[in-house]
A and B are shown apart, each in its own frame.
Chain A
């Protein structure tokens, strides 16, 4: 009798014996959702370069995935990913990092590279907190929540709609899911990987230790249940007023469109400038 073997253990670096996450952390579910997407597309880890910043979520690919991984400085993974894509345009480049990393300190890299529409997949693991450093308030921490740095509750308006920000910046593909939707998340990751352009997926992920335990939102299971209860599809959300949508999490694929991608545009420009191809005047693009 042959023993059952986990289908994704082959994607894990042999020297890594376990994930770095606390018990019940959603980041491990996101990690598996990514591996399932890669496996489902019939792709290989060698097709990818993974890039992460600093934070718990940055440990999803590094050192866990048995692949080329660049674990970069805080807030900068998208900038590194841009460089990798320019140098190795045939590789699939995937950034996996936290809300603090990508939207706080790294916010402008996110906005500008979504605008440029550089082909890469960016998975923003949003736990609404700086998890790794001890639960400090982030720009994504819901207003009024008590954190390590805001013992009386946060008093700032917060980024409720990171996906909306990236849509406005001009990304080709934008989706939002939670760790209560790992199957849907995998499907969106598959589409994001295949997208010729900036593909952004926001995943709400439970941090039961620095968020749940400290803020009284409960343990991993209670936080998952909360995600399930608060989630609403884009179609259903359209029927509700802004007041009715307060505290709800709109999930689904918001944007999936084709538009000029910068690395390809640069290649085209180089071929024109070097005389390899004749200059074609495109009135539309100026």
Chain B
């Protein structure tokens, strides 16, 4: 399963909002090249590997447009 998912159609744009990019401590997101159906520019995931699953982007997003999967168990533990 993926670590992150962005609901493009719910996003109101990194230019006007941009909270996800601001609260992410790693550089996981970048503004998309394209606009969504409403004319907003959502973020795209560029560095999924850097994601620490801190959930900041999910918790701060005012439009419930980002999900982070629950933190994986440490390697080796089960």
Contact = CB atoms under 8 A, between A and B. Distances in A.
Given A24-B12, A221-B22, A19 B59 contact: no
Interface residues of A, number: 34
A28 B1 contact: no
B4 interface: yes
Contacts of A133: none
Given A24-B62, A29-B62, A220 B67 contact: no
B33 interface: no
A36 B16 CA distance: 25
A28 B62 contact: yes
Interface string A32-48: 11001000000000000
Interface in A186-214: 208
A4 B61 contact: no
Contact of A32 (B4, B12, B64): B64
Contact of B67 (A5, A24, A27): A5
Q: Which of A2, A28, A31, A182 has the most CB of B within 10 A?
A: A28
The 3 closest A-B pairs by CB, nearest first: A28-B62, A23-B16, A23-B12
Interface of B: 1-2, 4-5, 7, 9-10, 12-13, 16-19, 22, 40, 58-64, 67, 69
